[in-house]
Amino acid sequence: MILALETSCDDTCAAVITRAGEIRSNVVSSQGIHDRYGGVVPEIASRHHLELVNAVVDTALDRAGTALDEIELVAVTQGPGLVGALLVGVATAKGLAAARRLPLAPVDHLQGHVAANYLAPDPIEPPFLCLLASGGHTLLARVTERGAHERLGGTLDDAAGEAFDKGARLLGLGYPGGPALSRLALEGDPQAFAFPTAARVGGLDFSFAGLKTALLYKVRELGEAEAGRRRADLAASYEHAIVESLILRVERALAVEPGARLAIGGGVAANARLRERAAALGVPVKIPPPELCTDNAAMIASAARWVQPVPFPGYLDLDAYPTAA
């Protein structure tokens, strides 16, 4: 069995899975304290990880009905992410592994989102195209083997999840904005406002900065009272633009790789509209259940199965790597 930790952002996560990719436990403790600041405060996130991590690991072992003695491999997110937050997971994983002379697998967070698609039941087999859309990243990749992905395109500015979060903030919704904005969007008309999808950005790259600005201008143009009345329409149209922008690039990628299958990962893949749109593309599509799309440690454990583990004591000086600026 594999025990994995994930602390790259504001969720403290631990999971136990089997080598075959069956989830025995998957614990996510959301800090829920960043809402009042409208985003994640790195220092606060690190401190909360420190307070929560041991209890989260214990809960994951308990729920899996196992103990450290039965764990053969410890895995941890090494990066990218908030470096102080990552360090809590890395230090904890080192301690757990070293105490039992276990090997340690350092896992790339994005590879983790891809590997959510390899968990049981019905894991996808490469090759496939993969859309990754989270709070920190948006990219299209070709996956030909399990431990790697080849980048085909990425965002030129904001990530898709960031666009959700910033739009939500403009509409006076809390953080994280994605779930709140899409709930509000259910009551609105996605065709009410025509927001840009950056279709002019050619190839497989994404851009969301113009969309965010378009929402800001629209809110100003409507005025506070009217924008307040039409919040649901604004949310629905904004969500529609993000989803269509993502789907447009996927369609472009599929056009040059006919017959390719598609997998989707990252927090934005929890979005119901995106899931519906992807399912209607006419190609086989694999999307993990929503709780495996947003940050979790089961996906990190899954990815660890294709990482060369570092034997004890080689990992004692292992470092986290932050998000590239």
> x/- string (CB under 5 A) for Zn ion, residues 254-293?
----------------------------------------
Identified binder of Zn ion from the candidate list 26, 46, 134, 155, rule CB under 5 A: 134
Residues contacting residue 91 through CB under 8 Å, at least 6 positions apart: none
Specify the residue, 175 or 315, whose C-beta has the smaller distance to ligand KG4.
175
CB of residue 258 to ligand KG4, shortest distance in Å: 29
In terms of Cα–Cα distance, which of 123, 116, 93, 121 is closest to 105? 93
* Partner touching 179 among Zn ion, ligand KG4, none, CB below 5 to 8 Å by kind: ligand KG4
> x/- string (CB under 6 A) for ligand KG4, residues 125-154?
---------xxx------------------
**Token pair 């994605």: residue:** 178
CB of residue 291 to Zn ion, shortest distance in Å: 13
* Partner touching 128 among ligand KG4, Zn ion, none, CB below 5 to 8 Å by kind: none
The answer to whether residues 318 and 95 touch, using CB atoms and an 8 Å cutoff, is no
How far is it, in rounded angstroms, from Cα 138 to Cα 287?
16
* Partner touching 271 among ligand KG4, Zn ion, none, CB below 5 to 8 Å by kind: ligand KG4
Specify the long-range contacts of residues 49-52, CB closer than 8 Å, at least 24 apart.
49/7, 49/12, 49/85, 49/88, 49/89, 50/88, 52/12
26 binds Zn ion (CB under 5 A): no
Specify the residue, 134 or 197, whose C-beta has the smaller distance to Zn ion.
134
- Joined tokens for residue 267: 């927090």
# binding residues, ligand KG4 (CB under 6 A): 20
Specify the residue, 106 or 267, whose C-beta has the smaller distance to ligand KG4.
267
Radius of gyration of the chain (CA): 20
Burial class (CB in 10 A: 0-12, 13-18, 19+), 200: exposed
Which residues 247-276 are close enough to bind ligand KG4 by CB under 6 A? Answer: 266-268, 270-271
Distances (CA, A) of 154 to 207, 215, 231, 281, 291: 9, 22, 30, 20, 24
The answer to whether residues 76 and 24 touch, using CB atoms and an 8 Å cutoff, is no
Number of helical H runs and strand E runs in the chain: 11, 10
CB of residue 296 to Zn ion, shortest distance in Å: 9
Specify the residue, 66 or 323, whose C-beta has the smaller distance to Zn ion.
323
Q: In the 8-state DSSP scheme, what is residue 155?
A: B
Specify the residue, 110 or 262, whose C-beta has the smaller distance to ligand KG4.
110
Maximum pairwise Cα distance, the chain: 63
165 binds ligand KG4 (CB under 6 A): yes
Distances (CA, A) of 226 to 31, 112, 196, 218, 303: 34, 43, 21, 11, 48
How far is it, in rounded angstroms, from Cα 303 to Cα 316?
21
* Partner touching 161 among Zn ion, ligand KG4, none, CB below 5 to 8 Å by kind: ligand KG4
190 binds ligand KG4 (CB under 6 A): no
295 binds Zn ion (CB under 5 A): yes
Which residues 282-311 are close enough to bind ligand KG4 by CB under 6 A? Answer: 294-295
Q: Site residues (CB under 6 A) for ligand KG4?
A: 9, 134-136, 161-162, 164-165, 176-179, 182, 266-268, 270-271, 294-295
